[in-house]
Structure 1
Amino acid sequence: MLDHLITHDDSLRMVPTDRNELTAAVGQLHEELRSLSEGTDPARTRVLTRWIGIAQMCLGNHDEARTFLRQSLDIAATIGNSRAVVATGLNLGDAHRYAGDAQSADALYRSALNTARGQHPELLDYALQHTGKHLMERGDLAGAQGHLQEALRLRIAKGDTELVESTQAALDRVELLISQTGAAAAGPAAPGQWSRQWTAWLQSRTTARTSSQWALDLPALRNAVAGLTTHQRVHPRHLSHQRDQSFPSVLLAAMAEEAEKAVAANGYLHNGKWNAAVGDAANHFAEQVDLATVVARSTGLDVEPPHTGVYIAYEEGQHLDFHLDEFGFGEANLLLCLKHDRPTGASRVSTTVFINADGYLECELAAGDCVVFDGALTPHGRTPLSAGEAITLISFGFRARDEAPRTLTGLPPIPV
């Protein structure tokens, strides 16, 4: 509808070909939207609100863009147009990304990508393209490259030259950034690549899925993990709701309810579990509870209030293999259990598990329990959930107040 008035700038973001013309075109769409009668097919309202939102995003009017795109997305979901849900979800993800809200953007991209894979493979290349650009801007260059390479293969198969050129331009930019940052080097110059390479090495040698193998796996891991341990800003510490730290039960229940709704509405699969953006209940909890003091008192690391958070949910059979988080999540993580449904009579329940040079540390978390650790330098995962088991968590990220713990040098290279 407005494609001819939109192009891409050097950073591959959408911008007007002519700002005045696009502004005038948006005004015309607004006029049509206002003139729609009460009995008009909601599909027309969906189309108009979507294009108004896209245009406002290109014009830099972020609040208007998100308002209209959210309206369009809600209409698409209400009328059952799942194809439009994918397309508009990607647009809304762009609007949040352009506005600097990477966390909300991530949730929208992952949701659209999962729906495209499962229901609309004809839109998968679009979902991969948008997600790839998002990952590129976040500094996850390897992830961006993988998504864009998959999109390129799909678009070559489609035979659409314009789409192929668009993806190739994005891929060229990612590869340029990789060459500029020295993606093969370990350390702060390429933290995302360093974390992913360490994760790949860990997962090639052990798994959280089968604890009976841990004793056999440890000798090959011991020296490598010891190198990580010496750099940890925080060592894993399990805080019991009954013994070490008591959080208001009403706030925990409110977050558990919010998490359930968020996962159902906008959850996305990530590393074999469900993730969802936090909302008002989580923000209220963080305002009422001095989490920075909880972290400082239990670890000795002076941190700022949490700068980010995400809901995490596991279902029966799911697990999380050992990995390292990227450095951007912070110097300390607080993983708080909101709900843990345990099957009656089960011989074993799922645990959060860490690897250090001495062995494996398992933490069984009940509602209100939490564990504090350095996710960027501590291999961690979750053992599989048994039949009838379900777990809901929230993970908060904290940054150290002092600059020194944030800047690490001499990190151990990826083992060979």
Structure 2
Amino acid sequence: MDDILKIDDLKKEFLSLQSFIYFDENDFLREKCSDEVALQKVIRDFEKAIFEGTNRSQTEELIFLYGTIGNLYRIKGEMKPAIEVLSKAVELSEGNKQISNLIRLGEALKYADQYQQALSIFNAVINQCKQEHSQLLDFAYQHKGKCLLELEEISEAYECFQKAMDLRVRKGDESLIDSTQKALNFVKHHGGLE
């Protein structure tokens, strides 16, 4: 029971951090955090939970911890630990959780300027999503589009964002639609497609 409360507390702490995370329109819509102290505290708390062995037999908890901490390292700009921890999350997971962690790993590789490796992951994830009829296909297209945007492959990026938008409109999730609309607007404005 103690472990469940601890994980729930970590989830609440992570959610409270979301108010400080934003997409930097001056840096290809990369995720950043406006409160480095809060970000570091959440990372420390997640690391502590892993090192204390928060019920190590609970694979689901480890996947959550590794996936989240890897994502936070990426946002903080620490790519080496981000890639290492996200690779562990990918190894432990399967199905949609693996797809989600592969997308996160692709993002970390992109932030580390390893664009071709990131694109390989995004392409593999897109294929996996199509084969498994995963509801995460829109995320795969969105993140591939962001990678292509940084490579200045503007029309290909726009095409990926448009595919993500079509899927997200079908889902009807306004926050996802808004996120993709920002990406489409960014491409139109900065990519000369206006």
Band of TM-score, shorter chain: 0.7 to 0.9
Q: Which amino acid aligns with 1:138?
A: L
Q: Which whole-Å deviations, capped at 9, do the CAs of 1:21-41 have from their partners, x for residues lacking one?
A: 010011000111111267521
Q: Which whole-Å deviations, capped at 9, do the CAs of 1:172-195 have from their partners, x for residues lacking one?
A: 111123327x9xxxxxxxxxxxxx
Q: Structure 2: which 5+ runs fail to align?
A: 1-10
Q: 2:102 aligns with which of 73, 77, 89?
A: 89
Q: Which amino acid aligns with 2:59?
A: P
Corresponding residue for residue 67 of structure 2: 50
CA distance in 2, matches of 1:38, 1:17: 32
Q: Which amino acid aligns with 2:159?
A: G
Report which of the two has the higher share of helix: 2
CA distance in 2, matches of 1:17, 1:90: 23
Matched, 1:74 2:91: yes
Matched, 1:21 2:43: no
CA distance in 2, matches of 1:17, 1:69: 23
Q: Which whole-Å deviations, capped at 9, do the CAs of 1:271-311 have from their partners, x for residues lacking one?
A: xxxxxxxxxxxxxxxxxxxxxxxxxxxxxxxxxxxxxxxxx
Q: 1:169 to 1:28 in 2, by over 3 A?
A: same
- Aligned pairs (5 A) from 1:181-330: none
CA distance in 2, matches of 1:90, 1:149: 18
- Aligned pairs (5 A) from 1:161-180: 161-179=174-192
CA contact (8 A) 1:97 1:105 kept: yes
Q: Which amino acid aligns with 2:117?
A: S
CA distance in 1, matches of 2:32, 2:56: 34
CA distance in 2, matches of 1:60, 1:39: 27
Q: Please report how far the alpha carbon of residue 134 of structure 1 lies from its aligned counterpart in structure 2 after TM superposition.
A: 0.7
Q: Which amino acid aligns with 1:93?
A: G
TM-score calculated relative to the size of structure 1 = 0.41
Q: Please report how far the alpha carbon of residue 112 of structure 1 lies from its aligned counterpart in structure 2 after TM superposition.
A: 1.0
TM-score calculated relative to the size of structure 2 = 0.86
Q: Please report how far the alpha carbon of residue 106 of structure 1 lies from its aligned counterpart in structure 2 after TM superposition.
A: 1.1
CA distance in 1, matches of 2:24, 2:120: 25
Which secondary structure state, in structure 2, belongs to the residue aligned with residue 40 of structure 1?
A: coil
Which secondary structure state, in structure 1, belongs to the residue aligned with residue 92 of structure 2?
A: helix
Larger RCO (CA within 8 A; separation ≥ 6): 1
Matched, 1:8 2:23: yes
CA distance in 2, matches of 1:46, 1:16: 23
Corresponding residue for residue 137 of structure 1: 150
Matched, 1:106 2:123: no
Percent identity for Structure 1 against Structure 2: 26
CA distance in 1, matches of 2:110, 2:46: 24
CA contact (8 A) 2:96 2:134 kept: no
Q: Please report how far the alpha carbon of residue 47 of structure 1 lies from its aligned counterpart in structure 2 after TM superposition.
A: 0.9
Q: Which amino acid aligns with 1:176?
A: H
Q: 1:37 to 1:62 in 2, by over 3 A?
A: closer
Corresponding residue for residue 137 of structure 2: 124
Q: Which amino acid aligns with 1:6?
A: I
Matched, 1:30 2:38: no
CA contact (8 A) 2:56 2:62 kept: no
For the pair shown, the structure with the greater C-alpha radius of gyration is 1
Q: 1:37 to 1:86 in 2, by over 3 A?
A: closer
CA contact (8 A) 1:141 1:174 kept: yes
Report which of the two has the higher share of strand: 1
The runs of at least 4 aligned residues of structure 1 exceeding 3 Å deviation read none
Q: Structure 1: which 5+ runs fail to align?
A: 183-416
CA distance in 2, matches of 1:64, 1:138: 24
Q: Please report how far the alpha carbon of residue 132 of structure 1 lies from its aligned counterpart in structure 2 after TM superposition.
A: 0.7
Report the RMSD for the aligned CA atoms in angstroms.
1.7
CA contact (8 A) 1:85 1:112 kept: no
Q: Which amino acid aligns with 1:109?
A: F
Which secondary structure state, in structure 2, belongs to the residue aligned with residue 139 of structure 1?
A: coil
Q: Please report how far the alpha carbon of residue 17 of structure 1 lies from its aligned counterpart in structure 2 after TM superposition.
A: 3.2
Size of the aligned set, in residue pairs, is 177
CA distance in 1, matches of 2:118, 2:167: 23
CA distance in 2, matches of 1:39, 1:87: 21
Q: Please report how far the alpha carbon of residue 51 of structure 1 lies from its aligned counterpart in structure 2 after TM superposition.
A: 0.7
